[in-house]
């Protein structure tokens, strides 16, 4: 599970730093299965499979998230062989925009989105956070489009007098870009709300 938050921090009260769940070790490779009945052996096989899935899922989030991802923490279940198996996990990820730097915000959200979709089978929660990152990318893109249009308009006005209308065309083009970006922003915003990804704290859960 990867909570998307303005700053890297744990959510849900699970696996806080220094807790028993956080420090529990991976299951031993050679566990004692003697004396286990068929149902216990089946459960053990399921726990081992789940453990592998959870670790691979969370490791993918963390590896792609890079500097914006926190440490992986797991929740464990004791198997019939006495070993602890990971059945859930989380990696916090920083989704705060870069203040005053639209370009850096776009680059950061691209990384966040890639991290959310990094596992082989992203869950619905993974996709919701990816959509949230896309939403957070659109506003700075609109800002950059507006700045570009304004710069183009100013340049056109200073280089022409009485003009051919080129500067007006550039301004109109910039306005259309801005309007398109705004429309896309509203569309994605509606998608995120429908997916219940409006809150920055919405978690990404490992696939079962």
Domain ranges of the chain: 2-204
Q: Residue 46: its pLDDT value, please?
A: 97
Mean pLDDT by 10 residues, the chain (208 residues): 51 31 47 83 97 96 94 95 94 90 95 95 86 92 85 66 51 48 49 42 40
Q: Residue 156: its pLDDT value, please?
A: 63
User: End-to-end distance of the chain based on CA atoms, in angstroms?
Assistant: 11
Say if residues 138 and 181 touch (Cβ distance below 8 Å).
Answer: yes
Q: Residue 137: its pLDDT value, please?
A: 93
Report d(CA 85, CA 106) in Å as an integer: 38
* Residue 115: partners with Cβ closer than 8 Å, 6 or more residues away: 2, 61, 62, 64, 65, 66, 68, 69, 93
Say if residues 188 and 138 touch (Cβ distance below 8 Å).
Answer: yes
């Amino acid at each position: 599970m990867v909570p998307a938050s303005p700053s890297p921090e744990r959510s849900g009260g699970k696996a806080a730093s220094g807790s028993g769940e956080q420090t529990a070790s991976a299951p031993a490779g050679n566990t004692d299965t003697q004396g286990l009945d068929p149902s216990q052996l089946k459960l053990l096989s399921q726990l081992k499979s789940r453990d592998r899935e959870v670790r691979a899922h969370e490791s993918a989030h963390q590896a792609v998230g890079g500097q914006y991802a926190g440490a992986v923490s797991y929740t464990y279940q004791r198997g019939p062989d006495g070993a602890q198996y990971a059945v859930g996990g989380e990696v916090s990820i920083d989704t705060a925009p870069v203040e005053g730097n639209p370009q850096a915000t776009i680059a950061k959200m691209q990384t966040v989105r890639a991290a959310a979709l990094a596992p082989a089978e992203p869950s619905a929660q993974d996709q919701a956070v990816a959509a949230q990152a896309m939403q957070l990318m659109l506003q700075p893109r609109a800002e950059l489009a507006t700045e570009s249009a304004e710069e183009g308009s100013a340049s056109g006005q200073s280089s022409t007098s009485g003009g051919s209308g080129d500067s007006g065309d550039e301004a109109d083009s910039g306005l259309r870009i801005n309007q398109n970006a705004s429309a896309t922003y509203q569309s994605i915003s509606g998608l995120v709300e429908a997916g219940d990804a409006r809150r920055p704290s919405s978690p990404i859960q490992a696939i079962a």
